Amino acid sequence: EADIYQTPRYLVIGTGKKITLECSQTMGHDKMYWYQQDPGMELHLIHYSYGVNSTEKGDLSSESTVSRIRTEHFPLTLESARPSHTSQYLCASSEGKYGTSGTNEQFFGPGTRLTVL
Amino acid sequence: GDSVTQMEGPVTLSEEAFLTINCTYTATGYPSLFWYVQYPGEGLQLLLKATKADDKGSNKGFEATYRKETTSFHLEKGSVQVSDSAVYFCALTSARGGSYIPTFGRGTSLIVHP
């Protein structure tokens, strides 16, 4: 069973607030990812990491930032939330270091549904 | 660049009907192919995968065959149940400069009526 956790599951917050979405995995995976999922269900990759101290921007431009200080932890931060940030955020992880096999599947957390008023 | 195209939904079926969700891809080299399923209120979970041409992935009655000649990975199930109602995503990973970052289709919603 996959062990990847996201907190909070739901968050309603006012414009201008700083927020951090937490993501942790206990599988020792090197690769971790953040996706934004729109109401039409399409997934947009916003950040990813190959391992500790590695962070990369994804295909969708995002005002969020991420850090990877520990293998198991990959938090996403919004310095100043806006209504346009309202969305579902999914965290995922997978085995394998940079340049290694792409045959490994991703394991997803349950998601954080963010609403910015 | 890499891309995945899957049929638009929603797909609406009666229980015990046959299901096909089409997926075609564009990628460099020899990608690995995946189907993920997302139930309401949850994250995605792997349904099945295939890592080389002519491989067939299968799980929970679902099947998909890696067809390199038609660049396709269509999902099929012989008899769907109400509990199969979910959103299905086709995905691939290929060596985009060594990164192996996945590319997802836009998802296909399946609704199964009793």
Instruction: Name the nearest CA neighbour of A60 among A50, A80, A46, A76.
Output: A46
pLDDT, average across residues B80-85: 97
Element (H or E) spanning A7, and its range?
Answer: strand A4-7
B46-70: per-residue pLDDT in tens? 999 999 999 999 999 999 999 999 9
Mean pLDDT across A26-43: 92
* pLDDT for the residue B97: 64
For the cut 90, the answer to whether the pLDDT of residue A93 exceeds it is yes
Checking if the pLDDT of A72 tops 80, the result is yes
- Please tell me the distance in Å from B78's CA to the nearest CA on chain A: 25
For chain A, the maximum distance between any two Cα atoms, rounded to a whole number of angstroms, is 42
User: Cβ of B104: how many Cβ atoms within 10 Å?
Assistant: 21
Peptide bond into A8 cis (omega under 30): yes
How many CA within 13 A on the CB side of residue A81? 20
Q: Which of A98, A104, A107 to mutate to test the interface with B (most CBs of B within 10 A)?
A: A104
How far apart, in whole angstroms, are the C-alpha atoms of residue A37 and residue A111?
9
Q: Does residue B11 contact residue B108 with C-beta atoms inside 8 Å?
A: yes
